[in-house]
């Protein structure tokens, strides 16, 4: 039995969601010819009454930066990624995170990270450092993608 790494699992999940969203009638990411098509994933909630646009660079960067945490659930319909407890490399304190991507824009207002340790809340500086790392990684991915 082959063991799949957490990063591979997260990337496979993202790829599966991307492939699934491409099956819709609106084209890749369900947004057809909208202007920010390369950077946005849009999904429609069951019932067709509500949709949310998710920045794919923030989504991928969140999974990349927090790859030491196990992915518990992802919901592209609401823009939420829930991760379980994990210890960062070289660290001795376990954390868990919930990431909420609220907007298709690649900026700080689009990203909300709730970070918690087993002892409760973490310092605001630690949470901001994680958000900054995700934003920096998202920009790196966007540059590497040639989407500027």
Domain ranges of the chain: 6-145
Could you read off the pLDDT of 11-64 as tens digits, one per residue?
Answer: 444 444 443 333 333 333 333 333 333 344 444 444 455 555 788 899 999 999
List 120's β-bridge partners, or say none. 117
pLDDT of 102 reads 87
Query: What pLDDT does 49 receive?
Result: 52
DSSP string, 18-47: HHHHHTSTT-GGG-TT-TTGGGEEEEE-TT
Confidence of residue 5 (pLDDT cuts 50, 70, 90): low
User: Smallest Cα–Cα separation from 18: which of 100, 70, 74, 72?
Assistant: 74
pTM, full prediction:
0.65
Residues 6+ apart with CB under 8 A from 144: none
Q: Which of 117, 28, 99 is nearest to 63 (CA)?
A: 99
Given a cut of 80, whether residue 3 has pLDDT beyond it is no
Range 130-146 average pLDDT: 93
d(CA 64, CA 140): 12
The DSSP H or E segment spanning 125 is helix 124-145
């Amino acid at each position: 039995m082959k063991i799949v790494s957490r990063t591979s699992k997260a990337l496979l999940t993202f790829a599966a969601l991307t492939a699934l969203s491409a099956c819709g009638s609106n084209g890749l990411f369900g947004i057809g010819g909208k202007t920010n098509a390369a950077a946005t994933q849009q999904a429609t909630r069951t019932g067709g009454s509500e949709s949310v646009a998710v920045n794919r660079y923030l989504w991928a960067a969140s999974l990349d930066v927090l790859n030491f945490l196990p992915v518990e659930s992802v919901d592209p319909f609401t823009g939420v990624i829930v991760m379980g407890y994990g210890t960062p490399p070289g660290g001795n304190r376990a954390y868990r995170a919930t990431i909420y991507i609220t907007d298709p824009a690649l900026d700080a207002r689009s990203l909300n990270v709730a970070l918690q340790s087993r002892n409760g809340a973490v310092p605001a500086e630690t949470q901001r450092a994680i958000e900054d790392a995700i934003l920096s990684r998202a920009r790196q991915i966007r540059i590497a993608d040639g989407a500027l």
